[in-house]
Chains A and B, each alone.
Chain A
Amino acid sequence: MQRRDFLATASRWLGLGLAALLPFGAARLLAPASASPPQARPGQRNYLRPPGAKQDDAAFIQACIGCGNCAEVCPPRCIRFHARDGGERLNLPYIDAQARACTLCGKCMAVCPTDALTVTRRREIDMGIAQIDRSACYPWVDTGVCGACVSVCPLGEHAIGFKMWNQYRPVVYDGCVGCGLCVEVCPHPSKPIWIVAREQGSVARHSL
């Protein structure tokens, strides 16, 4: 009899536990984790974190409460969300620089209620660093003059400039913070400029 009581109690608690798990399971099942979009090049960051984001991905996921305020204040509306996928990244923000890039205005950092995005000085933001494919970029293969990336860069000569003696060949300097505006404006269909993690990038040195 005691055993039966125990089994009854145990099954009741099991049922209760399953019922309590139900909403979490439903939410997770609806948004399965998906593979990140295919990288055109090794190390390419297709999805950038908003500026001021915690560098460690796990720490960022822990800190973000998925409120969406960062996107709501974003003037270019470049911040999007893992709304229908993402698994544990569900409702976390990202920036797809090829579609719409960050202008480093800093409003998202100011509005974030948690430390997922912390207010960072513009030059110290680290979303990555731009890399240029010199075998495709129009001026580098001598198929035209361009300079779109250099003109649009919000950090100017600290981040990107023209190679000495050759006016329109862009090179990236270590001041680049990886906002991705150059990626957005690049007119080449294969986007021969892209963002990688800072430690994976290589930069030109300022040398005159």
Chain B
Amino acid sequence: MTTPSRTFLLRRHLNKLRWLSLGLVFAMLLLLPMLSVYQNYAAAHAYDLLSADEKAFYDLMHGLTAPFTADPAEDLDAIKGTTWAGRFFGYKIGDPLSAVGQLAAGGALYWPLLFAVLIPTLASLLFGRFFCGWICPASFLYELNTGLGVWLDRIGLRPGRRRLDRRLKYLVLAVGLGLSAATGTVLFAAIYPPAVVGRELYYAIALNGFGTGAVFFAATVLFDLLVARRGFCRYLCAGGALYSLLGRYRLLRIQRVPASCNDCTKCNVACEFGLDPMRDGFGQECNNCTACIAACPTDALEFRITWHDQPYQGPGHLGRRYRRQPGGDTPERPADGGEG
């Protein structure tokens, strides 16, 4: 049997591109507060009054931005904020969860905020949980944390591999909406890791140091290490729940091609969200991160434009189970797959 040659653009490199995207977003979250401080110095017109350290910082930032701006105090306002809410060349972009949370807290729609979350919402309808895999600054740290877990495993410290019910995060979302309505506070702002990370980096760099959100984030990292791999994203993240709901009927999906699959389970191991790509178990939780595509040795996973997943298509045609069974047709889907 020959492997059908199904290739698409950058198939092997999508996961690297994703890391590039995550790294760029994270670097932006580090750079923007520094630019804010630089703008503060520039607006004060008091270079001579700065200390030696501040002068070095000023010179560095000036060197970085001088080719692009004539007036740093004004021009550098073009890109501001975090992934939670920000301004990008005059257009305000916000996280859909911020609009949902504010709607729950205040009970009233503020249409400019809805306009700001429009593009992320539409993108989530098309691409599903892509924010979690490709943009979220907390994901960047959580994935590094997963790598740390692998290293710890090698020296004998076993990270937690518990499986909880992934529907828990929808309950977190619902409870958060109820609590926001009851207290009149946008509670998601304090427990949503990308909002916390962006804000705490800003506090640490431009203001008086980390706030308590850093402690909260450290607790989620420990949860991931001690309880479940990527546990917060999978079981507790309210934003992930919202994106999962938005992406339920997403149009861009990863699907398995059984004709070139050999049932090697590498995709299942690579999937940070504990999904089951080898048995076509993607669902609304899949964040299109392409780690399974990068891990697949036979190129049996590909992007397709369709609004629903395939049911289990049977064992891969290159694998042993397929050759052993008489017809090679679709057998029952194994009962142990899926949950968690």
Contacts and interface: CB of A to CB of B under 8 A. Distances in A.
A47 to B, nearest CB: 15
B84 A65 contact: yes
Interface string A26-42: 11101100000000000
Nearest to B202: A68
Interface string B122-145: 000000000000000000000000
Interface string A76-114: 110011011000101100000000000000010001011
Contacts of A113: 85, 92, 94, 98, 112-113, 116
Nearest to A62: B106
Given A23-B236, A76-B43, A65 B168 contact: no
B85 A69 contact: yes
B216 interface: yes
B310 to A, nearest CB: 31
Contacts of A73: 36, 77, 80
A65 B215 contact: no
B207 A80 contact: yes
A140 B86 CA distance: 47
Contact of A21 (B39, B82, B175, B212): B175
Q: Is the interface of B mostly helix, strand, loop or mixed?
A: helix
A19 B112 CA distance: 34
Given A30-B216, A62-B105, A63-B106, A69 B199 contact: no
Interface residues of B, number: 64
A71 B206 contact: yes
Contacts of A66: 84, 186, 189-190, 195, 199
A67 B102 contact: no
Contacts of B228: none
Given A67-B98, A113-B116, A91 B189 contact: yes
Nearest to B211: A83
A6 interface: no
Interface of B: 32-33, 36-37, 39-40, 43-44, 73, 77, 80-82, 84-87, 92, 94, 98, 101-102, 105-107, 110, 112-113, 116, 164-165, 168, 171-172, 174-176, 179, 183-187, 189-191, 195, 198-199, 202-203, 206-208, 210-213, 215-216, 219-220, 236, 238
